[in-house]
């Protein structure tokens, strides 16, 4: 009886030990997977998982094929090719929501990018800028109140419409703090801002010159740009990654730097007619005084 009792004890201990080892191995593997950085994941899979927003001519989705296309898409595809990576366009986002998915690892980078701002930098690591753009004021075509001085818009009787979570809201807040604000939702079309101005719900909106030109081309001369040669804000365009992902940002920046200085980024813009007058490729120091 003592012999079989000893055998039983050893058998139970062996089974328990095996189960314990399996548990540890399983959870160690799980923990390792959970702690894998985006950079490590990209290098392991040779794939860059990209979020994207839709805003022509930078980014659009072909209605027939559902393929993501556009000037910035071409930049990202060539950047990845130079790094021997594949690109997987995994999720459509908005300007206001694109940083949230980085934190939860739904994608590795918000590849169609955004303007670098202090507020966004609390929640993102940035690549080097690869293109620049400006924001101008837009009013109704018959509104001449701001022709001589857009500073007139910084008043309590002026309403500015802007998108929540977008750089347009930051412009309104930082440059025109005394004005009233009429927000539009992050998941709305920015066309709503134009409708607010045209419909006399707001007096002023901010947009990129190329998008204003496209709107006027498609909808007629219902709005106009205030001081087109004096943008309210000039900002650098960059690709955000998760906070702390220095290696991933550095790797992407290396390829973007090469492309910027060999002229490839400007070359990639040329097939897109709407990018003329929309982007520039060296930073401008001229802003509204």
pLDDT for the residue numbered 284: 54
* The pLDDT value given to residue 109: 98
Tokens linked to 235: 């900002």
Q: Which domain holds residue 187?
A: 134-233
* pLDDT for 8: 45
User: What per-residue confidence (pLDDT) applies to 57?
Assistant: 77
Asked if the structure places residue 195 within a domain, the reply is yes
pLDDT, position 275: 53
Whether the CB-CB separation of 47 and 85 falls below 8 Å is answered with yes
Please indicate, yes or no, if residue 285 is contained in any of the structural domains.
no
What stretches in the chain show pLDDT beneath 70?
1-34, 273-278, 283-289
Q: What are residue 138's DSSP bridge partners?
A: 205, 225
> Residue ranges of the alpha helices (H) in 66-208?
71-82, 100-103, 118-121, 167-175, 191-198
pLDDT in tens, 170-201: 899 999 999 999 999 977 888 999 999 999 99
Helices (H), 67-204: 71-82, 100-103, 118-121, 167-175, 191-198
Query: Is the domain of 115 the same as that of 246?
Result: yes
Calpha distance 39→136 (Å, rounded): 37
**Do residues 87 and 216 both lie within one domain?**
no
pLDDT given for residue 155 in this prediction:
97
* CA-wise closest residue to 109 among 46, 48, 156, 181: 48
**Residue 171: CATH number of its domain:** 3.40.190.10
Which tokens sit at 56? 């022509």
Q: Please check whether residue 18 lies inside any domain of the structure.
A: no
73 and 215 housed in the same domain: no
In this prediction, residue 11 carries a pLDDT of 40
Does 19 fall in a domain? no
Q: What is the pLDDT of residue 140?
A: 97
194 and 261 belong to one structural domain:
no
């Amino acid at each position: 009886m003592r012999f079989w009792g000893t055998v039983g004890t050893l058998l139970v201990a062996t089974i328990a030990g095996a189960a314990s080892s399996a548990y540890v191995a399983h959870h160690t593997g799980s923990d390792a997977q959970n702690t894998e950085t985006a950079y490590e994941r990209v290098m392991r899979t040779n794939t860059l998982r990209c979020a994207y927003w839709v805003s022509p001519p930078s980014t659009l989705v072909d209605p027939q094929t559902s393929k993501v296309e556009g000037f910035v898409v071409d930049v990202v595809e060539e950047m990845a090719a130079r790094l021997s990576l594949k690109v997987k366009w995994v999720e459509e986002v908005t300007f206001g929501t694109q940083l949230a998915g980085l934190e939860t690892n739904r994608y590795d980078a918000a590849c169609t990018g955004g303007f670098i701002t202090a507020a966004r930098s609390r929640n993102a690591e940035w690549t080097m800028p690869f293109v620049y753009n400006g924001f101008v004021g837009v009013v109704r075509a018959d509104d001449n109140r701001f022709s001589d001085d857009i500073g007139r818009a910084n008043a309590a009787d002026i309403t500015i419409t802007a998108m929540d979570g977008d750089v347009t809201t930051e412009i309104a807040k930082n440059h025109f703090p005394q004005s009233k604000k009429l927000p539009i939702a992050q998941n709305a079309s920015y066309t709503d801002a134009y409708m607010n101005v045209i419909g006399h719900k707001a007096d002023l909106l901010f947009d990129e010159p190329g998008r204003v030109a496209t709107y006027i081309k498609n909808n007629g001369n219902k709005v106009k740009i205030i001081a087109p040669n004096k943008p309210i804000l000039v900002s650098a365009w960059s690709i955000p990654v998760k906070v702390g992902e220095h290696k991933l940002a550095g790797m992407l920046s290396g390829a973007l730097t090469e492309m910027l200085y060999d002229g490839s980024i400007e070359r990639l813009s040329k097939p897109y007619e709407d990018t003329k007058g929309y982007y520039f490729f060296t930073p401008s120091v001229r802003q509204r005084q």
